[in-house]
Amino acid sequence: MDKSLKAEAVPALADCQSQADPRQLSIDKVGVRGLLHPIEVRDKHHETQDTVAKISLLVDLPKDFKGTHMSRFVEVLNAHGRLVHVENLPRMLRMLQQRLNAQVAHIEMEFPYFMEKEAPVTKAKGIVDYAVKFDAAAHGKEVTFTVTVTVPVTTLCPCSKAISAYGAHNQRGYVTLALRSVRAIWIEDMIALIEESASSEIYSLLKRPDEKFVTEQAYDNPVFVEDLVRNVAERCNRHPDITWYKVEAENMESIHNHSAYACIEKTLTT
């Protein structure tokens, strides 16, 4: 090959995303969703826990631009290596703002969190998984961080217990607690706060003595779905570090073909 021959110039590629858009409508959130990526979260009993998160990276888009550059979102995520740490989220938000010329940036992470639990009587050990979500957002220089956990619990109906000659209908309920706080709150402590508010905890492994204990414990602690959210809210109101919370409870009714639902949301002064 003749080295004196110069390489042909590569023509500039069109940047459609940066073109003006005549509709003049800004977009609140645009980006990528459903990225699976390994993350590392703090574990109260084992220092850290490795898990896999479904991640969304989003920014606002001014009315003057036709689109955003989707590849840059993935570049920001990959720039932090194989494992993403919660401590990296503020820096990732800043990078999203800079790379995408955005005022607002969001990072959402949904992942399973695992805890080893002992059965109440036999102390048999089993693993229980909980759904957790981190939602970090940057509005200009202000950064907010919201943690959400969804916890399965047992609920027993007070009305059914009161009107029945024997027994009472009970079911699995799901409590979702989202909160913001002045200091980090352990995921384990959020789970305990919820479980203490229900008729009984749920376990992965129960022997017969354990099952007897859990059944009788639920019977002695009946709660409506209204009781459930109020119990959680009362504990949140007393917590010195919580600044905002939203608690939702849904009972998957065992004698109806619908669910029972309740919700409380509150901002606390600090």
In-domain check, residue 11: no
**What integer pLDDT is reported at residue 270 of this predicted model?**
60
Query: pLDDT by residue (tens digit) across 46-64?
Result: 888 999 999 999 999 888 8
Residue 50 lies in a domain: yes
84: burial class by Cβ within 10 Å (0-12, 13-18, 19+)? buried
Whole-Å CA distances, 61 to 28, 142, 152: 7, 18, 38
Q: Which whole number is the average pLDDT over 129-156?
A: 96
Report d(CA 173, CA 70) in Å as an integer. 39
pLDDT higher than threshold 80 for residue 260: yes
Tell me the residue length of the chain.
Answer: 270
Q: Which of the residue ranges 32-36, 78-82, 201-205, 232-236 would you say has the lowest mean pLDDT?
A: 78-82
Of residues 81 and 151, the one with the higher pLDDT is: 151
Mean pLDDT of 69-92: 86
Count of domains observed in the chain = 1
Contact of 80 with 36, CB cutoff 8 Å: no
What range defines the domain where residue 211 resides? 27-267
pLDDT number for residue 149: 98
Strand 47-61 with 84-85, pairing: unpaired
Average pLDDT of the segment spanning 183-189: 94
Q: Is residue 14 a part of any domain in this protein? A: no
Taking a C-beta distance cutoff of 8 angstroms, is the pair 137, 144 a contact? yes
Measure the CA–CA gap between 75 and 99, rounded to whole angstroms. Answer: 10
Among residues 105, 96, 266, the alpha carbon closest in space to that of 177 is found at: 266
Residue 95 confidence (pLDDT): 94
Q: Is the pLDDT of residue 67 over 70?
A: no
Average the pLDDT over 63-83 and give the result: 82
Q: Is residue 22 part of a domain?
A: no
> Could you tell me what percent of the chain has a pLDDT over 70?
91
Q: What is the CATH number of the domain that holds 115?
A: 3.10.270.10
Distance (Å, whole) CA 208 – CA 47: 33
Tell me, yes or no, whether 242 lies in a domain.
yes
Q: Is residue 159 part of a domain?
A: yes
pLDDT in the model for residue 234: 97
What mean pLDDT is predicted for residues 108-120? 96
Residue 114: inside a domain, yes or no?
yes
What's the confidence (pLDDT) of residue 25?
A: 86
Q: How confident is the model at residue 85 (pLDDT cuts 50, 70, 90)?
A: confident
* 97 vs 136: CA distance, rounded Å: 13
pLDDT for the residue 35? 93
Top-confidence residue, 67 or 251? 251
Inside any domain, residue 84:
yes
Q: Is 113 exposed, middle or buried (0-12, 13-18, 19+ CB in 10 A)?
A: middle
**Backbone CA torsion sign across 188, 254, 264, 53:** positive
pTM: 0.87
Closest CA to 264 of 215, 238, 212, 225: 225
